[in-house]
């Protein structure tokens, strides 16, 4: 993939609201994730993407933030999206304080060390990601059997659907994960502090 096809913009060239957003992220994370820089080339799409992402990932609801990231990592693994697997794998490890969970979910979610409820959640998410044409009442009943409501089902489906979009975009425009993501959440705190 020719990495110069969609060159990253300079911070100075960006609209103020987007530049502010990028600087805020940089302050918090220590670096600017490539997805933000890549999408910032197109301000309207950037704003809609970030707005949609936040509406799904940061809202209150029946799923924990870690569980939402589980959906992202498992479905992104199935879509072979390098950027999303590595970047959201890092976030998932941190949320769950579990250095192994992201590799498990990205490689084969069925073998991951998760609860039966989370297994049902991912089973539904994977069907939305890979075979949504066949989703039917039976699938909702399976979710209900594990305590999920219909609104939870919408949340799960919306996250799987949003990353169906995100995975395809990242795969096509050649987005590479920042190297920092690969290690985040893998090393115990005291070791890093060493």
Integer Rg of the chain from CA? 17
Is the Cβ–Cβ distance between 35 and 138 less than 8 Å?
no
Q: Which of 36, 49, 95, 148 binds its own copies (CB under 8 A)?
A: 49
What is the nearest approach in angstroms of its own copies to the Cβ of residue 147?
Answer: 17
Q: Which of 63, 72, 129, 143 binds its own copies (CB under 8 A)?
A: 129
Which one of 8-16, 17-25, 27-35, 53-61 is the stretch in contact with its own copies (CB under 8 A)? 53-61
Is the Cβ–Cβ distance between 167 and 86 less than 8 Å?
no
CA–CA separation, 77 and 190 (whole Å): 30
45 binds its own copies per the rule CB under 8 A: yes
Tokens 């250095």 found at: 99
Long-range contacts for 114-120 (Cβ within 8 Å, ≥24 apart)?
114/70, 116/146, 117/146, 117/147, 117/148, 118/67, 118/70, 120/145, 120/146, 120/148
Could you give the string, one character per residue 87-116, with x where binding to its own copies holds by CB under 8 A and - elsewhere? ------------xx--xx-xxx-xx-----
117 binds its own copies per the rule CB under 8 A: no
153 binds its own copies per the rule CB under 8 A: yes
Which one of 14-22, 23-31, 64-72, 125-133 is the stretch in contact with its own copies (CB under 8 A)? 125-133
13 binds its own copies per the rule CB under 8 A: no
Distance of CA 51 to the CA centre of its chain: 14
**113 φψ region: left (φ > 0), alpha (ψ -120 to 50), beta (else):** beta
Q: Under the rule (CB under 8 A), what is the footprint of its own copies?
A: 1-2, 5-6, 42, 44-45, 47-49, 51-52, 55-56, 59, 77, 79-82, 85-86, 99-100, 103-104, 106-108, 110-111, 128-129, 132-137, 140, 150, 153-154, 157-158, 160-162, 164-169, 171-174, 176, 179, 182-183, 186-187, 191, 194
């Amino acid at each position: 993939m020719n990495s110069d096809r969609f060159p990253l913009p300079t911070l100075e060239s960006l609209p103020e609201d987007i530049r502010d957003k990028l600087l805020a992220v940089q302050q918090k994370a220590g670096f600017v994730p490539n997805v933000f820089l890549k999408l910032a080339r197109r301000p309207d799409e950037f704003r809609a993407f970030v707005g949609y992402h936040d509406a799904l990932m940061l809202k209150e609801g029946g799923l924990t933030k870690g569980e939402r990231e589980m959906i992202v990592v498992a479905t992104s693994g199935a879509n072979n999206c390098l950027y999303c697997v590595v970047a959201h794998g890092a976030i998932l490890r941190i949320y769950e304080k579990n250095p192994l969970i992201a590799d498990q979910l990205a490689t084969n979610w069925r073998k991951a060390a998760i609860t039966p409820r989370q297994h049902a959640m991912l089973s539904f998410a994977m069907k939305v990601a890979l075979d949504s044409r066949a989703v039917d009442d039976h699938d909702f009943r399976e979710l209900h059997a594990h305590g999920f409501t219909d609104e939870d089902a919408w949340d799960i489906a919306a996250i799987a659907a949003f990353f169906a979009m995100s995975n395809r975009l990242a795969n096509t425009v050649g987005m590479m994960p920042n190297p920092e993501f690969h290690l985040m959440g893998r090393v115990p705190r005291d070791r890093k502090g060493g």
